[in-house]
Chain A
Amino acid sequence: MAALRVWQRNATVYKRTWKLNILPNFFEPFLYLLGMGLGLGAYITEMEGLPYINFIAPGLLISSIMWGATLETTYNVFVKMNFDRIYDGILSTPVNPKDLALGELLWGATRGTIYGGAFLSILFIFGMGLHWGILLIFPLIFIIGFMFATIGLLFTSMIKEIELFNYFFTLFLTPLFLFSGIFFPMNQLPQAVQIIAWFTPLYHGVELSRGIFNQVWSLELLEHLAWIIAVTLLNTIVVLRAIHKRLYN
């Protein structure tokens, strides 16, 4: 319950500026689809039997959730924790550090969902994913958002300097973005790379999303989902402890 209060606080702040905030979320997919789908798609007409734009769209959707959720639980949380002293105010109320962390995770997942939702609406406009199976994408968007919120917050709980986020984004998220099967199928890559990819979070989301969009139902999708849920749960436990340790000392 206390976690919900923290979520509500963020929602109250967001409500003031959401109109300004949300607009880029619609332009981004639009630009990606135009530039990569139509531009690059003029040369690469087909990938794994799909028009190129249809091949990349489901993965790009998942990556937009990743960016949205992690931005929230990295920079925004760091500023609230270390510069604005907002957490000092919150923690002297019945809200405890673990409630605070859970609230931020829920909010990060919400921001990821807003990013993903905006992206999805553009895909619908482009005529993609217009079938009943697409309903499964909605819970997936939230779960992926939550997973990346835990990953961002875990990094935030470990660092003392805001500059270190550059490493997180450049050396972790950007490689994920490029090598998780969004732009080309992973089975073209050497076995070693594929094994590494299996241990990274974005890859499983991309595979699930593509399966749902193109209605390729297989047991592998369940394996990806199991991976995501297991990592999210484990990470949640670890990150709640880490934030507790950081803020209660």
Chain B
Amino acid sequence: MEKPAAIITAKNLTKEYGTLKAVNDVNFDIQPGTCFGFLGPNGAGKTTVMRMIYCVTPLTSGLLTVNSENVMENMSAVKRGIGVVTQDDSLDYDLNVINNLLVYARYYDLTREQAVRRANELIEFFQLEEKRDKNVRTLSGGMKRRLQIARALINKPSILILDEPSTGLDPQARHHVWAKCHELIEQGVTLLLTTHYMDEAEQLCDRIAVMDQGKIIKEASPWDLIKSEVSPYVVEIRGEEQARQKILTAVSDQIDFHEELSDRLLLYTPDATPLHAHIQDMNIPVKTLLSRRSSLEDVFLKLTGRELID
């Protein structure tokens, strides 16, 4: 479908390394001011897609436009409008916090005055005031990530790319990063992120593309993905194989489908309460019985085929 308003458009995007197709004929449109997530296991091709968008990896074939510029033709112009937070921290360890921002501003040809003003704003926004003149080495993991995001925003980009923004962060730091991301979306920045954390994708993304083996196998909003790929609720049973089988046989007409993991039985159902009650009434001894809303994790496991589904 043609959406002329898209800020990033990929048509038949392909990247080959020798015989390996890291990205295989991928298509997507990203609307400005939204958060678009690439979800997938390691090696699915998420990072390669990002790298092609910010012009550090050439396309093998296909067409990729960012802010109406072809990424293969006008690299500097494309990169001027994008801020990038790479997966491994690429901060400049030879410089202190403020100089990381000021030196970075020079790469975008900001004047000294603009750079200082912007750097101070960002240091405040990301609460790094105390570390302003400290070496980057003295920063905690969460602070380093915040500094990386601050640095990526130095040129006020319309697009911010976050490659696994919360990997390796403790829960407080993760939530801090997410809160900042929400603020940025409100300011109109288009967010592009890769993650393999379902909660992160659910928290932030308006749309999600699930990638596996170089292809996008599904693209929708998080809620639509859950609705279309799995049932709204899951009843999880942990216990002996025999007990699980007995329950499965007894309730098979009340569920949409089920999934057998090595240690658990998952029953997908439109309404968990009656099913839960029914299983309790059966008085079959199990270790745990719990009901929950189904999540992107269930979608992800189903789509990327880690477990077998009937």
Q: Are B92's CB and A86's CB within 8 A?
A: yes
Q: Are B56's CB and A2's CB within 8 A?
A: no
* Chain A CB within 8 A of B99 CB: yes
Q: How far is the CA of A96 from the CA of B76 in the complex (A)?
A: 7
Q: Which of B58, B77, B82 contacts A92 (CB 8 A)?
A: B82
Q: How far is the CA of A86 from the CA of B94 in the complex (A)?
A: 9
Q: Are A88's CB and B103's CB within 8 A?
A: no
Contact flags (1/0) for B52-63 with A, using CB distance below 8 Å? 001111100000
* Chain A CB within 8 A of B84 CB: yes
Q: Are B79's CB and A88's CB within 8 A?
A: no
| Contact partners of A5 in chain B: CB under 8 A | 106-107, 109
| Contact partners of B106 in chain A: CB under 8 A | 5, 8-9
| Contact partners of A94 in chain B: CB under 8 A | 75-77, 79-80, 107-109
Q: Are A93's CB and B93's CB within 8 A?
A: no
Which B82-114 residues have a C-beta within 8 angstroms of A?
82, 84, 86, 88-95, 99, 103-104, 106-109
| Contact partners of A93 in chain B: CB under 8 A | 79, 104, 107-108, 155
* Chain B CB within 8 A of A46 CB: no
Q: How far is the CA of A84 from the CA of B89 in the complex (A)?
A: 9
* Chain B CB within 8 A of A249 CB: yes
Q: Are B107's CB and A88's CB within 8 A?
A: no
Q: How many Å from the CB of B154 to the closest CB on chain A?
A: 9
Q: How far is the CA of A199 from the CA of B154 in the complex (A)?
A: 48
Q: Are B103's CB and A12's CB within 8 A?
A: yes
Q: Are A1's CB and B86's CB within 8 A?
A: no
Q: Are A13's CB and B95's CB within 8 A?
A: yes
The answer to whether residues A85 and B104 also contact, given A96-B76, A249-B57 and a CB cut-off of 8 A, is no
Q: Are B95's CB and A89's CB within 8 A?
A: no
| Contact partners of A95 in chain B: CB under 8 A | 76, 107
Which A70-96 residues have a C-beta within 8 angstroms of B?
84-86, 88-96
Contact flags (1/0) for B290-303 with A, using CB distance below 8 Å? 00000000000000
Q: How many Å from the CB of A75 to the closest CB on chain B?
A: 14
Q: Are A12's CB and B76's CB within 8 A?
A: no
Closest to B78 in A: A94
Q: Are B107's CB and A248's CB within 8 A?
A: no
| Contact partners of A89 in chain B: CB under 8 A | 86, 90-92, 104, 151
Please indicate which of the listed interface residues B76, B86, B93, B94 has the most CB atoms of chain A within 10 Å of its own CB.
Answer: B94
Q: How many Å from the CB of B47 to the closest CB on chain A?
A: 12
Q: How far is the CA of A163 from the CA of B145 in the complex (A)?
A: 32
| Contact partners of A248 in chain B: CB under 8 A | 56-58
Q: Are A92's CB and B56's CB within 8 A?
A: yes
Closest to A90 in B: B107
Main secondary structure of the interface of B (DSSP, over half): loop
| Contact partners of B109 in chain A: CB under 8 A | 1, 5, 94
| Contact partners of A12 in chain B: CB under 8 A | 95, 99, 103
| Contact partners of A1 in chain B: CB under 8 A | 109
Q: Are A88's CB and B99's CB within 8 A?
A: no
Q: Are B76's CB and A84's CB within 8 A?
A: no
Q: Are B54's CB and A92's CB within 8 A?
A: yes
Q: How far is the CA of A114 from the CA of B90 in the complex (A)?
A: 29
| Contact partners of B82 in chain A: CB under 8 A | 92
The answer to whether residues A91 and B103 also contact, given A1-B109, A96-B76 and a CB cut-off of 8 A, is no
Q: Are B89's CB and A92's CB within 8 A?
A: no
Q: Are A85's CB and B76's CB within 8 A?
A: no
The answer to whether residues A2 and B107 also contact, given A12-B95, A85-B88, A88-B86 and a CB cut-off of 8 A, is yes
Closest to B103 in A: A9
| Contact partners of B54 in chain A: CB under 8 A | 92
On A, residues with C-beta under 8 Å from B are 1-2, 5, 8-9, 12-13, 84-86, 88-96, 247-249
Given contacts A9-B103, A13-B94, 11 further A-B contacts (CB under 8 A): A1-B109, A2-B76, A8-B103, A8-B106, A89-B90, A89-B92, A90-B107, A92-B90, A95-B76, A96-B75, A248-B58
On B, residues with C-beta under 8 Å from A are 54-58, 75-77, 79-80, 82, 84, 86, 88-95, 99, 103-104, 106-109, 151-152, 155
Q: Considering the complex of A and B, which 8 residue pairs feature the smallest CB-CB distances, nearest first?
A: A89-B90, A93-B107, A92-B84, A88-B90, A94-B76, A85-B90, A13-B94, A5-B106
22 inter-chain pairs at a CB distance below 8 angstroms, sorted by A residue, are: A2-B76, A8-B106, A9-B103, A9-B106, A12-B95, A84-B92, A85-B88, A86-B92, A88-B56, A89-B104, A90-B107, A92-B79, A92-B90, A92-B152, A93-B79, A93-B104, A94-B79, A94-B107, A94-B108, A95-B107, A248-B56, A249-B58
